[in-house]
Amino acid sequence: MSAYVSSLASQLQIVAAAAPTEERLKGKASLLYEIKEAADIDLQTIYAVGLQGFTELVRLDGRFEAYSRTLFSRNASEVNRELLDKEANVKMDASITGYLRLLSGFFLTAAATKTLEYLIRRYKIHVYNVDAAITCALPYHSTPEFVKLVQLANLDGTSFYFLKQVKEVGAAPPRDQLVVRCCNDGAFLSFVCDAAASSASTKGVPGAASAFYAVLLTESLAAMPRVTAGVVPRLLPYLEAGLAPAASAEQYAGALIVATQLASRAPLAAPLTEALIEGVAKGARSPLHAQSLQALLALCQTQAVKDLPSRAFKHLVKLPDLPSHLADLCRGYRADALTVPLVRALAASAAQHVNYERVLAGVVQEAPLTAVAVTALVRALVALAGEGADSAGATPAGAEAGKEVAARTLRLLDAHHPAAASAAVDTVLSEAAAAASEFLVVTLKTVTSSSHPQPGVGCP
């Protein structure tokens, strides 16, 4: 019997050593009060304070109401988590994590502090939910409120063990310290990416979280000596959530910045590049249309994209005022990496739907296209005009429609980009003549004979 008791005692000691423990304080852990003062305040008083803060938060955002029964009810306030079984504690942890994720956008409010005071006293989140608690406050890492929370937390064995100096000295950690940690600690980078993805998936106003994670991840990517293959998969959940149509404008803007930085630092697999381009185009919304096009240009430029993915193209064409936004982009940047595949796609689709031709006409009329873009467009229009001759499946009506669209667009090019159009037509005609494609030469001759001599076709 004594051997059995000794063995059981040893096992209990091992379990106790593995469990997180509350640090010994000369008082009670508290955000609102001095620890000695907090020791004289009973749990019911703390519960009343927490409930008052929770009620204020529910008025600000109705989503908090979901936690009224699990965390802030009278029955919940009487639960001692240290007496609960594993399954009950798992459910409690899930509820606390969800609440803290939502609370992040309100962290600096007095109401949030009141509820945190209650969660610390009743559920000991500074012991059992350290990662979730500090993640809630991380976007505000430069504030005294963040420092005080870190000083209360048991950091051993958590993702934030490196903040022990903050705990000891009481100085807020600068962002560059977090950047260095992301660069040197893959586990922490994964943690940050997961937190960023959770933030980007949270509907409603995310407060400072979206901007914080976007800047932290962007600066981390920029500071890495080399962006390794292992970094990219960690970022994908964040990018997917941030670029989704359901994301807020803040979340979408953050994802644009990170996607652009990632593309500038690493060659991406073609399927990922295509997915990012589609995500940017599909998620574009006011007032970020210009930024969306800038991100698309960066992706096309850095990843040497030759053709726009079809689904991305269909989303992009629906963008309000695309021609004027593209015109602004062309004035501010060397934009051929985007304009060339875009005008080619527009020309190839212009005979399929009137909207495609309308957008193409707008681009020709408004955007200061370069000679490279004009030449690419002329080639695409020649291909469109020649589809009826080269395709066995083309109908006479479809072939005629292609010729008419090509003719109208070529006239617009001649009117708005005369020099570039003239040079492009001459180039394409010489190419067509060399290839003995009489049909294409005749098509161009008919369309442009009023304003361009035809080299190689009846010319001396």
pLDDT at position 425 is 85
Asked whether residue 440 carries a pLDDT value surpassing 90, the answer given is: no
Angle at 51 between CA 49 and CA 52, to 5 degrees: 65
Asked whether residue 393 carries a pLDDT value surpassing 60, the answer given is: no
Angle at 403 between CA 400 and CA 404, to 5 degrees: 85
Cβ neighbour number for residue 348 with a 10 Å cutoff: 18
More confidently predicted of 382 and 370 = 370
Asked whether residue 449 carries a pLDDT value surpassing 90, the answer given is: no
Task: Give which of 20, 329, 327, 2 is closest to 153, Cα–Cα.
Answer: 20
pLDDT at position 391 is 43
Q: Show Cβ contacts of residue 18 under 8 Å, excluding neighbours closer than 6 positions.
A: none
Tell me the C-alpha distance between 112 and 98, whole Å.
14
pLDDT tens-digit readout, 207-262: 678 899 999 999 999 999 999 989 999 999 999 999 999 888 889 999 999 999 99
Tell me the C-alpha distance between 142 and 24, whole Å.
26
Predicted structure pTM score: 0.83
Tell me the C-alpha distance between 412 and 410, whole Å.
5
More confidently predicted of 384 and 49 = 49
Tell me the C-alpha distance between 355 and 371, whole Å.
25
CA distances from 308 to 29, 47, 302, 303, 337 (A): 57, 57, 14, 12, 10
Determine the length of the chain.
460
pLDDT tens-digit readout, 37-90: 988 899 999 999 999 999 999 999 999 999 999 999 999 989 899 888 999 999
More confidently predicted of 439 and 313 = 313
pLDDT tens-digit readout, 92-139: 999 999 999 999 989 999 999 999 999 999 999 999 999 999 999 999
Tell me the C-alpha distance between 349 and 186, whole Å.
45
